[in-house]
Copies of this chain bind each other. A is one copy, B any other.
Amino acid sequence: MKADATTEQIEHMAQHITSLGLTPQVIHGTHQTVIAAIGEERPGLTEVLEPGPGVEKVLPIMAPYKRASSELKRERTVVKARGLEVGGNRVALIAGPCSVESEEQIVNLARKVKALGATGLRGGAFKPRTSPYSFQGHKELGLKMLATARAETGLAIVTEVMAPEHVPMVAEYADVLQIGARNMQNYQLLQAVGDSGKPALLKRGMSASIDEFLLAAEYILDRGNPHVMLCERGIRTYEDHTRFTLPLATVPYLHDKSHLPVVVDPSHGTGKAKLVIPMSRAAIAAGADALILEVHDDPEHAVSDGAQTITPAAFGELVAQCRRIAEAMDRAL
């Protein structure tokens, strides 16, 4: 309550709290009075109480997510899709082009990244693009190309789904449904992915808080789908020498708060090919369970995201360096 809140206002708020099914406890401080509202936490309570008379501010004490919380489930979740396992001792690698361009391209790249250690193949068939005039992906044709690449290599297919009505189609071809950063709070999409039961790779929104991120995961978990991977892909800050700012403290922080595995995307997280290898090493040293990386035979001619894409040769170098870091942490890669 405010320093000058009246006895009537304090009384009023205590009754308001009672009327909401909670137990108020009034604490008289030296300068201010605080009312604790005791009971089951409910979303929206802050909003309901804040406009009350004499109220200074409302401070929630409990975390708003439940199913994603490590308090509810202490055992760590391992998400599995074919040979791709994320959350166990082995650090997983998901690699591939930004966009699926042709069957030849994707099959060829799939073979290369598999030979170098990847167990997941990324590649966009539906591409969310800032401009309506940019290449929007090969859509179902692209999904078929990915399926061919899987048939050839056995890699698990990780690909983005952009709309609830596409979920059944994408789920038919893909092993992991990726929800992009722009769609992290597209709740219809989250629910549709939840309903599909398919493993999901949920990217953090570029200005999402950790609570919002975990609540987005909660939308999927709440539909009975426990196969959720959280992916840190960089946030938007004032920094302009990188495309986004990649905050790796997210990795140990999420591991503390949640049982879900954490993936890092150093390609989008930096936007610069030159920074991808050092930030991949750093992500693993921070404890990441997997990396997702943009790899292309000829980044200079990639139809999208060339600036942050590395070649298969650089990917090989990345794997060699990251394996040493993983081993220094008693993990495999």
Residues of B within 8 A of A162 (CB): 187-188
Q: Mark A11-37, 1 if CB is under 8 A from B, else 0.
A: 000001000000001011111101010
By the criterion CB–CB under 8 Å, are A51 and B182 in contact? Answer: no
By the criterion CB–CB under 8 Å, are A29 and B282 in contact? Answer: no
Residues of B within 8 A of A240 (CB): 209, 240
Q: Mark A238-266, 1 if CB is under 8 A from B, else 0.
A: 11111001111101110010000000000
Give A278-299 interface residues, CB cut-off 8 Å to B.
Answer: 278-279, 281-287, 299
Interface centre among A44, A51, A241 (most CB of B within 10 A): A51
Interface centre among A48, A269, A274 (most CB of B within 10 A): A48
By the criterion CB–CB under 8 Å, are A300 and B218 in contact? Answer: no
> Interface segment, A101-109, A114-122, A129-137, A144-152?
A129-137
By the criterion CB–CB under 8 Å, are A222 and B132 in contact? Answer: yes
Give A170-211 interface residues, CB cut-off 8 Å to B.
Answer: 182-183, 185-189, 206-207, 209-211
Given contacts A246-B249, A252-B278, 15 further A-B contacts (CB under 8 A): A43-B130, A48-B301, A48-B303, A48-B306, A51-B306, A51-B307, A53-B300, A133-B218, A164-B164, A165-B165, A183-B185, A210-B241, A237-B238, A237-B247, A252-B279
